[in-house]
Amino acid sequence: MGNGQVLSTLMHRASVRKFTEMPVAEETLREVVRAGQQAPFTGQMYSVIVVTSHPTRERLRPYLGPLVMQAPVFMLICIDFLRLEAFLSSRGRSNRLDDMSMLFLGIQDAAYAGMNMVSAAQALGLGSVFLGAAPFVAPALAEIFQLPPRVYPLVGLLLGYPAEHPPARPRIPLDLVFMRESYQRPTSAQIQAALEVMDQGLLQEGYYARLQAMIPLEKGQETHDYTNYSWGEHIARKYGQMRPRDVLAMLGQQGIDVNRVPPPGAGA
């Protein structure tokens, strides 16, 4: 694949939520995960659990939503400290890094691999969509997939041959992301301009109307419908009304203690 093809694949990527019933060959699935392995980073602190069976996906539905039944393949990308620490143990060492640092590095490892997998899938003619609820339903996923301590679910990924070809969705203007030399605080005018770009782009596509994805208003009288409900209102409701989740407790259940500080010399 030439440079132009790679860039085109990335720039035209869009989440797919409708799939054909055509199964994905085992060889193709292995190729997708193998492409994930070529993502940067030393520790490779991730594992990928691949599910094609209908009964397992039915068990996932209450926790990850009905979309999990729409694709022939579900993948759970996990942060995996267990395997890294087994490598260390084989060399007569133990892990001296605190779990908060491990968590940052593990998220980086798994996220890089996940994005490589999505790009590889698209290049192979597959569609995909991430399911971000996975870390917030960790106890259920740990039971379903028999996750041992030191392994934590980071994100779900649906794969299959697409039954739709949605356009690439708008993004906030590059000038709000691309900064030189130091951080540049966004101005009010920039924020409003970015909201206009996102809102108009998704309204024109009918994105939220098609998905019937309006989040109910928690307080006050509803003044939006699908003619004026778009990205700005969606993220304001999603993050402004979200109830806290005890992620620290869920991490602890999987043997990850962000307050853990190994004693000096523990890795010798």
Instruction: Write the pLDDT tens digit of every residue in 173-219.
Output: 999 999 999 999 999 999 999 999 999 999 999 999 999 999 999 98
Residue 215 sits in the same domain as residue 123: no
Whether 261 is covered by a domain: the verdict is no
- What does the alpha-carbon distance between residue 213 and residue 236 come to, in Å, rounded to a whole number? 14
86 in a domain, yes or no? yes
Q: Are residues 145 and 180 in the same domain?
A: no
pLDDT of residue 123: 92
Tell me, yes or no, whether 259 lies in a domain. Answer: no
Which residues make beta-bridge pairs with 78? 47, 153
SS3 call for 28: helix
The answer as to whether 263 is a domain residue is: no
Q: Tell me whether residue 151 is in a domain.
A: yes
27 shares its domain with 124: yes
> Is the same domain home to 135 and 61?
yes
Q: In what order do the strands lie in the sheet with 73-80?
A: 46-51, 73-80, 151-160, 127-131
Q: Does the pLDDT value for residue 1 go beyond 70?
A: no
Please give the mean pLDDT across all residues of the chain.
Answer: 94
SS in 3 state form for 75-133? EEEEEEHHHHHHHHHHCCCCCCCCHHHHHHHHHHHHHHHHHHHHHHHHHCCCEEEEECC
Given a cut of 60, whether residue 266 has pLDDT beyond it is no
Distance set, CA 92 to CA 43, 85, 95, 268 (Å): 17, 10, 10, 8
Q: What's the pLDDT band for 151 if we cut at 50, 70, 90?
A: very high
Same-domain status, 68 and 95? yes
Classify the phi-psi angles of 212: left when phi > 0, otherwise alpha if psi is within -120 to 50, otherwise beta.
left
Query: Cα–Cα distance between 151 and 51 in angstroms, integer?
Result: 17
Residue 72 lies in a domain: yes
Residue 90 is part of a domain; what is its CATH number? 3.40.109.10
Whether 122 and 140 map to the same domain: the answer is: yes
Q: What is the pLDDT of residues 84-101, one digit of tens each?
A: 999 999 999 999 999 999
**Which stretch of DSSP H or E encloses residue 153?**
strand 151-160
pLDDT of residue 34: 98
Eight-class DSSP state of 108: H
Residue span of the structural domain in which 85 resides: 3-166+245-253
Looking at the fold, whether 207 and 149 belong to one and the same domain comes out as no
pLDDT tens, 31-46?
A: 999 999 999 988 999 9
191 and 162 in one domain? Answer: no
User: Does residue 121 contact residue 44 with C-beta atoms inside 8 Å?
Assistant: no
Contacts of 64 (CB under 8 A, 6+ apart): 131, 133, 134, 137, 156
Same domain, 178 and 162: no
Residue 262 lies in a domain: no
Q: Are residues 138 and 17 in the same domain?
A: yes
Domain identity same for 230 and 125:
no
Residue 22, pLDDT above cutoff 90: yes
> Quick check: 89 and 83 in contact, CB under 8 A?
no
| Pair 126, 207 in one domain | no
Residue 247 C-alpha from the chain's centroid: 16
Q: Which of 7-16, 32-41, 117-126 has the lowest mean pLDDT?
A: 7-16
- Number of structural domains, the chain? 2
pLDDT confidence band for 4 (50 / 70 / 90): confident
Tokens of 74: 């579900």
List the beta strands (DSSP E) in 62-142: 73-80, 127-131
